[in-house]
Amino acid sequence: MVEAVVFNKEQNRLELLDQTLLPVETRTVFCSTEHDTAKAIVSMQVRGAPAIGVAAAYGIVLGLNNPQNHARPFLEAFKAICDLLAATRPTAVNLFWAIARIKKAVKNAGCTDFSGAATVALPEADKIRAEDIEMCRSIGRFGASLLQSGDTWLTHCNAGALATAGYGTALGVFRAAQEEGKNFKVFVDETRPLLQGARLTAWELMQEKIDATLICDNMAGSLIRDGKVQGVVVGADRITAHGFVANKIGTYPLAVLAKYNGVPFYVAAPDSTFDLTIKYGEEIKIEERDHDEVRYIGGQQIAPKDIKVYNPAFDVTPPELITAIITNKGIIRPIYRDTIPEFIKPERFEAAE
């Protein structure tokens, strides 16, 4: 199983599998400072809500160990490090959850200097990473109970080991089902504009020898209509207290297609992806990315270079379109405003001041 986020303690650096180059090239990005880490998150060399949370936690450790910060007062520098990483991407709540975990650990330990804070932050970051892997394995086990031998499911974007500390959320369902000996097939949406499905999910499933077929995004509807898909499972970047789900752009129309054609639509996510401080989809800030991501594919221009572009990275799927949310705590079913609190406890989201 691939590891996208690794902290090398001997070298005091974060090692990231560069996801902008896969599947053509496998290259490691070395981050020695919080600035390197922030750049890797913004550029999507590391991506996926859980993975960027883990990367940010280690980025804080790098910032605390960065001598350039030591000329400033500790609390001022610590806040600046956390703020830098929090400003990288606005939609995925795991990022803010992980930063809050580190801040809380440092505060509770009464740290007043860089060395002491780093000593506390590193094991907390390790804990976040280890917890994420275990959460994904639990998600996989719960999700595999919904997938039957002979099924063909569809997934969108990449919610695998590359998007997490390991194992994956949506792809964790397939990994667990395979481990149980089930025979099934997977359709993989290419996921424009950055092709995370074509480049990353297809690569991951082939590495695991899972029977996968790549399709263009606009082919999904006809496959679902023709009865060739028995289930859809996607990841998530933020889930509200009432069950609105922000995920990669293109998720919402898949949910509509699935609902119209009577196909179950599942969301797979750890409890760190829930944001109980908000209720509705319009409260989620949607990141809009560089317009050239649409005008170019792999550096090749495919549209007039001056054409206006709209490029939101995510859309929001309302709860009435979601059959169930597969979490590490169990399978949550509607009505979500009533059932989410039974599984996800608010203390997970207490941030340090």
- Answer whether residue 348 shows pLDDT above 90: no
Domain identity same for 107 and 207: no
Domain identity same for 132 and 148: no
DSSP string, 155-196: E-S--BGGGSSSSBSHHHHHHHHHHTT---EEEEE--TTTTH
Domain identity same for 175 and 296: yes
Number of domains in the chain: 2
Domain identity same for 206 and 81: no
Catalytic residue, candidates 36, 132, 237, 275: 237
**Range(s) of the domain holding residue 271:** 143-349
Domain identity same for 58 and 163: no
Domain identity same for 175 and 291: yes
- Answer whether residue 324 shows pLDDT above 70: yes
Nearest to 77 by CA among 37, 122, 123, 113: 113
User: Last residue of some domain: 110, 136, 162?
Assistant: 136
Domain identity same for 118 and 190: no
- Average pLDDT for the chain: 96
Q: Is 203 helix (H, G, I), strand (E, B) or coil?
A: helix
Domain identity same for 103 and 169: no
- pLDDT for 238-274, tens place per residue? 999 999 999 999 999 999 999 999 999 999 999 999 9
Read off φ and ψ for residue 13, nearest 5 degrees. -150, 155
Cα–Cα dist 41/35, whole Å: 10
End-to-end CA distance of the chain: 37
Domain identity same for 269 and 156: yes
> Which region among 62-66, 216-220, 344-348 has the lowest average model confidence (pLDDT)?
344-348
Mean pLDDT of 23-51: 97
User: Last residue of some domain: 113, 136, 159?
Assistant: 136
Q: Band of the pLDDT at 346, cuts 50, 70, 90?
A: confident
Q: How many C-beta atoms lie closer than 10 Å to residue 338's C-beta?
A: 10
Domain identity same for 169 and 216: yes
- Answer whether residue 81 shows pLDDT above 90: yes
What pLDDT was estimated at residue 2?
A: 82
User: Last residue of some domain: 136, 151, 168?
Assistant: 136
Q: What is the CATH number of the domain that holds 204?
A: 3.40.50.10470
- pLDDT for 118-158, tens place per residue? 999 999 999 999 999 999 999 999 999 999 999 999 999 99
Q: How many C-beta atoms lie closer than 10 Å to residue 287's C-beta?
A: 17
Domain identity same for 80 and 189: no
Domain identity same for 247 and 315: yes
Return all residues near 332 (Cβ < 8 A) that are at least 6 apart.
243, 324, 325, 326, 339, 340, 342, 343
pTM (two decimals):
0.95
Residue whose structure tokens are 């020898």: 209
Q: Please work out, in degrees rounded to the nearest 5, the angle formed at the alpha carbon of residue 208 by the alpha carbons of 251 and 159.
A: 25
Q: Is 275 a catalytic residue?
A: no
